[in-house]
Structure 1
Amino acid sequence: MPYLDDPLIVFTDLDGSLLDHHDYSWAPAQGWLDQLAEHNIPVIITTSKTSAEVSALQHTLKLNHLPFIAENGALIQLAGGDNPAHHLIGADYQHIRDVLVDLRKRYDFEFRGFGDVTPQQVADWTGLTLTNARLAMQRDASEPLMWFGNTLDFSRMEKLLREEGLALTRGGRFWHVMGQDAGKGQAVRWLAEQYQQQRDQAMVTLGLGDGPNDISMLEAVDFAVVILGHHDQDMPLNKEDRNVYRTTRHGPEGWRQGLDHFIAIK
């Protein structure tokens, strides 16, 4: 069990985890955020949200001095100054859009991505404000989809995307199309290695997430908190039970519950 004075990194999903699924509040988690900050423990946002969305939220959460992982691991933004570097994993957004438009034209697949609709439609789908919906549409390396077709067509599209080097990942509200090499787990491992090299010591990693797109992140960390989700998807993990905690509460209340369980205070 990690302590607050251990070389600890916390990786956290946002929607349905640190942020409430309905109103996007993180109030129940604020006490732990304060304690982690006091002990200089990095809290690394690891989310399907875009760089533009996370950058705005980081300032509010007072995490803007830290790197973050965006678009389900397809993009890592490193900390540093007014123009921080990006580390892109997999395909870029324009390539993804070109492939999707081509497949829809050829096979009449029934879906809509963020690149097909207005900011108002994205706001209606997500419950975001119009301003935040526009930030959600500023994408670099992944495309969220609403699927309206049948399961046979979906399987066919998934196969065709694989042939193009792309993959579908299930999120809380959407399916996300991104490069096959991308994913939260890969991004978490890469960033944890950067911290280890900088500090010249092994890092202890803890991850918190609620959805299927968080599984690779939860597999990549030492201690995993599976937050009770607003979905009916299985969340299987190949880890020892003592390193996994499944909360009984949703969102930031579950987030707090997970840290209460794992982090010992001397």
Structure 2
Amino acid sequence: MPYLDDPLIIFTDLDGSLLDHHDYSWQPAQPWLDKLSAAQVPLILTTSKTSAEVAELQSALNLTQQPFIAENGAIIHLPPDWRDEAAVPFHISGAGYPEIRQILVALRQRYDFEFRGFGDVTARQVALWTGLTEEEAALAMQRDASEPLLWFGNDLDFARLKKCLMREGLSLTRGGRFWHVMGTGAGKGQAVQWLSDRYQQKRGQPVISMGLGDGPNDLSMLEAVNYAVVIKGHHEHEMPLQREDVAHVFRTDAPGPHGWSQGLNHFITLR
């Protein structure tokens, strides 16, 4: 088990993990947030939220000097001191948002698929779907490389939609509330691996990675890290991990930030 002063990096999902599913509070996790900050352990927000949403949360959590992963891995944002003259603030994998929207609208018109995405509705509707305020919903609609969908059709049409998207170089990832359409090469696992490699290069030594998440869109992240915390979710989806090192996987019996803290208590030893 790692110690707090080991070369740790921690990747965390937000909704239903660090943030409570109902009220988006992280207060039960604050003692561990303070310990990680004092030990200078990087805490990398890894979420389906947009860059605009994560930037506000980063500020509230005092994490503005850390990278973050947004839109389910389609975007990696690097802090200013990570950039050189050739670097860009965002590492974007896959198609951009306008292209994704254009493909989705065309497929819906052609096959009469029954779905609605954020680009089809107002901030008020997104607020009703998510429980966010309208101002927060507006931030959630500032998308760069993915589109959340609610599916209203049948299973046969859904399978057809997946095949159509695959032909267009897009994929569907299941989140807590929505399906997310993004480039086939994007994903939390790929983004976690990319950032882990960057940390190893910067430090000149191997890093020990830990991931915490509660939903199906977290599975690739939980398979890419050394230690995985599967937080009890507010859903009925199975969370199977393709890992043989079962001692490095912990499943919590508490949801949200309580489960998040439970996972860190299980794995991290304080000297």
| TM-score band, normalised by shorter chain | over 0.9
Q: Deviations over 1:224-252 (max 9, x none)?
A: 00000001111011222100000000000
The AA in structure 1 aligned to 2:159 is: S
Number of residue pairs the alignment of both structures matches: 265
Q: Deviations over 1:15-42 (max 9, x none)?
A: 0000000000001100001000001000
Q: Deviations over 1:129-183 (max 9, x none)?
A: 1110000000000000000000100000000000000000000000000000000
Moved over 3 A (4+): none
1:43 equivalent in structure 2 = 43
2:125 equivalent in structure 1 = 121
1:108 equivalent in structure 2 = 112
Distance (Å, rounded) in 2 between the aligned partners of 1:261 and 1:198: 28
The AA in structure 2 aligned to 1:6 is: D
Distance (Å, rounded) in 2 between the aligned partners of 1:46 and 1:248: 22
After superposition, residues 170-181 of structure 1 pair within 5 angstroms as 170-181=174-185
Q: Deviations over 1:85-118 (max 9, x none)?
A: 0110111001100000000000000000000000
In the alignment, does 2:24 pair up with 1:19? no
2:270 equivalent in structure 1 = 265
Distance (Å, rounded) in 1 between the aligned partners of 2:154 and 2:219: 25
1:242 equivalent in structure 2 = 247
Provide the secondary structure at the position in 2 that maps to 1:96: helix
- Long gaps (5+) in structure 1: none
2:199 equivalent in structure 1 = 195
1:54 equivalent in structure 2 = 54
In the alignment, does 2:195 pair up with 1:207? no
In the alignment, does 2:149 pair up with 1:141? no
Distance (Å, rounded) in 2 between the aligned partners of 1:178 and 1:160: 13
- Long gaps (5+) in structure 2: none
Superposition RMSD in Å: 0.9
Provide the secondary structure at the position in 1 that maps to 2:182: strand
Distance (Å, rounded) in 2 between the aligned partners of 1:110 and 1:15: 26
Distance (Å, rounded) in 2 between the aligned partners of 1:147 and 1:48: 17
Task: Tell me the TM-score normalised to structure 2 length.
Answer: 0.97
The AA in structure 1 aligned to 2:247 is: R
Distance (Å, rounded) in 1 between the aligned partners of 2:64 and 2:130: 24
Among 183, 187, 197, the alignment partner of 1:183 is 187
Question: Identity over aligned residues, as a percent?
Answer: 66
Task: Tell me the TM-score normalised to structure 1 length.
Answer: 0.98
